[in-house]
Amino acid sequence: MEAVMNNVTIEKAKTSKIKDVDFDNLSFGSIYTDHMLVCDYKNGQWQAPKVVPYQPITLDPSSKIFHYGQSIFEGMKAYKDESGSVWLFRPLENFKRLNKSAKRMAMPELPESYFMDGLTTLLHVDSDWIPQNAGSSLYIRPFMFASGNGFHASPADEYKFIICCAPSGSYFSGKVKVLIEKQYSRAANGGVGFAKTGGNYAGQFYPTRLAAEKGYQQVIWTDDNNHEFIEEAGAMNVFVRINDTLLTAPTNDRILDGITRKSILDIAEDEGIKTEIRKVSVKEVVDAAKNGSLKEMFGAGTAAVVSPISAFGYEGVDYDLPELKDSYASLLKKRITDIQYNRAEDKFGWRHEVV
């Protein structure tokens, strides 16, 4: 039985898996809702989006995703407040970044209505899957890949856009110990570092494994030129607090334009915290750690919002960061999550109600 909502066709699943889910013990991104959104690009245009039961994808072995890596994705969340209302956080920023990534990867850009109407419809259909437990949320993964066939090295002529969702518990990784990378690079000038494309993440796994063998949980990436300036922390943007100034690298074609990063900068300004968007050298961070002016380092991203760094290693030496009672990290995380869960005023207009 099919229905239509927001010009999106809906095919409901015959049975639901929700009764088998323990919402009090959710891991991150490993259990999936009953439905997904699917939209195909064929004959030079996007076809009408559909909500269908969650299911495997069948692809020809010659599909270009397997050979030339045209693949992009986004990460976002839906939140349910105490009254049961559902909210998104700055969803149009995810849509804009998806199309920015698509353009760089020679993929077709998606119409805004297909993204927003498709997402809203999917959330309505699977609204019971959005957790209401403290700190829990529905993780949303929009992604696009080349489904067209051919072994010739050229952009595909067909693509598939999908949104899948996974109810997830509170994401807390604890404070992490990181290694400042001196050999490997996450991205290069003129490359695709600013795009949210799968290969960027695949290329991180090996250096991160090497760091883990040395006792570190993550890598601080440095510039590809001389490894002189810090750029990102794992798959997150990175912030450094020296004395009472919060520093972060400017975005460029190597650094992802993080939505959490932008939000932190705006909230910091609202809190009267001094911020500087500039290159931050490894030497500056090491010197600050030695003289005691380095107060905090943390990653910023969708999953954890803020991930504090407890120590970093560089050239065989580990530097511990102080334990702060009133850290910028905890303040900024609370300000953002209070907006996301509709617990506080949203003076920035970031919260988007799903109605």
Q: Which domain holds residue 263?
A: 176-340
Of 120, 140, 168, which residue is a domain's last?
A: 168
pLDDT at 332: 98
pLDDT digits (tens, 9 = 90+) for 38-95: 999 999 999 999 999 999 999 999 999 999 999 999 999 999 999 999 999 999 999 9
What torsion do the CA atoms of 96, 99, 101, 102 make, to the nearest 10 degrees? 180
Q: Cα 41–123–12 angle (5° rounding)?
A: 75
Mean pLDDT of 129-142: 95
The answer to whether 39 and 46 have CB atoms below 8 angstroms apart is yes
Same domain, 132 and 254: no
Same domain, 299 and 318: yes
Inter-CA distances, 281 with 220, 247, 253, 257, 285, Å: 12, 11, 18, 20, 7
309 inside domain: yes
Same domain, 160 and 180: no
Same domain, 163 and 185: no
pLDDT at 118: 98
Of 106, 138, 168, which residue is a domain's last?
A: 168
Rounded distance, CA 47 to CA 110, Å?
11
Same domain, 335 and 246: yes
349 inside domain: no
pLDDT at 190: 94
pTM for the model stands at 0.96
Statement: residue 172 has pLDDT above 70 = no
What is the number of structural domains in the chain?
A: 2
Same domain, 24 and 156: yes
pLDDT at 1: 61
Of 168, 199, 216, which residue is a domain's last?
A: 168
- Tokens 């250096």 sit at which residue? 207
Nearest 5°: phi and psi at 165?
-130, 150
pLDDT at 134: 85
Same domain, 145 and 226: no
3-state secondary structure of 267: helix
pLDDT digits (tens, 9 = 90+) for 96-121: 999 999 999 999 999 999 999 999 99
DSSP H/E element including 66: helix 65-68
Rounded distance, CA 256 to CA 195, Å?
7
Among candidates 227, 213, 229, which has minimal Cα distance to 184? 227
Statement: residue 174 has pLDDT above 80 = no
Kindly give, in sequence order, each residue whose CB lies less than 8 Å from that of residue 27, ignoring residues fewer than 6 positions away. 168, 169
Same domain, 77 and 204: no
pLDDT at 175: 76
**Residue 33 in tokens:** 């809702």
Q: What is the CATH number of the domain that holds 296?
A: 3.20.10.10
Same domain, 191 and 302: yes
3-state secondary structure of 98: helix
Mean pLDDT of 176-182: 96
**Which of the four pLDDT bands, split at 50, 70 and 90, describes residue 173?**
low
> 10 Å Cβ neighbour count for 57?
11
Mean pLDDT of 321-348: 97
**Residue 224 in tokens:** 């590809």
Burial of residue 262 (CB within 10 Å: 0-12, 13-18, 19+) is: middle
Statement: residue 297 has pLDDT above 90 = yes
Same domain, 157 and 257: no
Q: What's the whole-number average pLDDT of the chain?
A: 96
9 inside domain: yes
Same domain, 286 and 163: no
Greater pLDDT, 102 or 4: 102
Mean pLDDT of 318-330: 96
Mean pLDDT of 13-26: 95
350 inside domain: no
Residues in the chain: 355
Same domain, 90 and 32: yes
Mean pLDDT of 312-319: 98
